[in-house]
Amino acid sequence: MNKRIQLQDLGSKDYKETWDYQESLFKEIVDTKVKNRRENANLETTNYFLFVEHPHVYTLGKSGDMSNLLINEEQLEAKGASFYKVNRGGDITYHGPGQIVGYPILDLENFFTDIHKYLRLLEEMIILTLAEYGLKAERSKGETGVWLDVGTPFARKICAMGVRASRWVTMHGFALNVNANLGYFDHMIPCGIRGKAVTSLHVELGKKEVDEVEVKNKLLKHFTVLFEAELACSESKC
């Protein structure tokens, strides 16, 4: 089992370009697994972890409801935002500047074959990272992602998640609001959940800006422990 993970920080990159790139890495891993099965080969599959920041974009998961996007095409254009229907789970979400987006593209057969466990460990990575900033983050029953003040009238989501998995290979991932402009969330019903707010780390800490490099390093520290993995830079992209 290969538990090495190739880390790539793509910087700011268009959503569709990044989605296409994810698909290419996903296909590479799946093709290797198919070859191993058909030819009784013993080729190692590669694991990836992509960090990226997207320009303003709304994405709707395959089970999502289009009515959860509250603005039309002209208004999207006026906001400088794009929109895509995508092949991940979950409903609608927003990505934009000030948000750390992570896409682990893993062959889970290198780690464990349990999608539920995979999602819970991603949530735990976020929870442990936010704890380092003095925040008590939690899961909310029946609602994937990471929240603050669960079970109170002040519950608010700080990290959204949506993944796709096939042949135990994952793609898509998480979006953690660090220095996000929360005004963009007003134009949708986040994750299709009414009556709950969204927040960002800089708001919770009362800071103008939080060091995103520091947050990424903390995320990776917890990720490697939780997944018992080791990181390597890939193609000079980190």
Residue ranges of the annotated binding site are: 88-95, 160-162, 173-175
Quick one: pLDDT at residue 193?
A: 59
Give 69-90 pLDDT, tens digit per residue: 888 888 888 889 999 888 887 7
**Residue 198 token pair:** 């969204």
What is the β-pairing status of strands 4-12 and 57-60? unpaired
- Residue 67: both structure tokens together: 């009515």
The Cα–Cα gap between 121 and 129 comes to: 12
Give the tokens for residue 168: 């135990």
Q: Which of 213, 229, 201, 206 minimizes the C-alpha distance to 131? A: 201
Centroid of chain to Cα 71: 24
Provide the token pair at 230. Answer: 């080791």
The fourth-level CATH superfamily of domain 4-233 is Bira Bifunctional Protein; Domain 2 (3.30.930.10)
**What's the chain's average pLDDT?**
92
Per-residue pLDDT reduced to its tens digit, 21-41: 999 999 999 999 999 999 999
Is residue 184 within 8 A of residue 174, CB to CB? The reply is no
By three-state DSSP, how is residue 202 classified? helix
Q: Does the pLDDT at position 164 exceed 90?
A: yes
pLDDT above 90 for 62: no
Binding residue positions for substrate: 88-95, 160-162, 173-175
pLDDT score recorded for residue 72: 84
Ordered DSSP codes for 182-225: GGGGGGB-GGG-TT-EE--HHHHHT-S---HHHHHHHHHHHHHH
pTM for the whole thing?
0.92
pLDDT of 195 reads 62
Least confident piece of the model among 87-96, 125-134, 187-196, 220-229: 187-196
Distance CA 233, CA 9 (A): 9
pLDDT band for position 4 (cuts 50, 70, 90): very high
Contact present, 96 and 14 (Cβ < 8 Å) = no
CB 177 within 8 A of CB 98: yes
Q: What ranges do the domains of the chain cover?
A: 4-233
By annotation, the residues acting in catalysis are 191
pLDDT at residue 235, rounded to an integer: 54
User: What are the beta bridge partners of residue 172?
Assistant: 163
Nearest to 173 by CA among 55, 47, 31: 47
Question: According to the model, what pLDDT value does residue 226 have?
Answer: 98
- What mean pLDDT comes out for the span 172-181? 97
pLDDT in tens, 123-148: 999 999 999 999 999 999 888 899 99
- DSSP, collapsed to helix, strand or coil, labels residue 38 as helix
The predicted structure's pLDDT at residue 68: 82
> How far is residue 75's CA from residue 47's CA, in Å, rounded to a whole number?
39
If we measure between CA atoms, which residue out of 184, 189, 194, 195 comes closest to residue 69? Answer: 189
Are 198 and 157 within 8 A, CB to CB?
yes
- The values of phi and psi at residue 54, to 5°, are -100, 145
pLDDT at position 194? 60
Euclidean distance between CA atoms 118 and 147, whole angstroms: 18
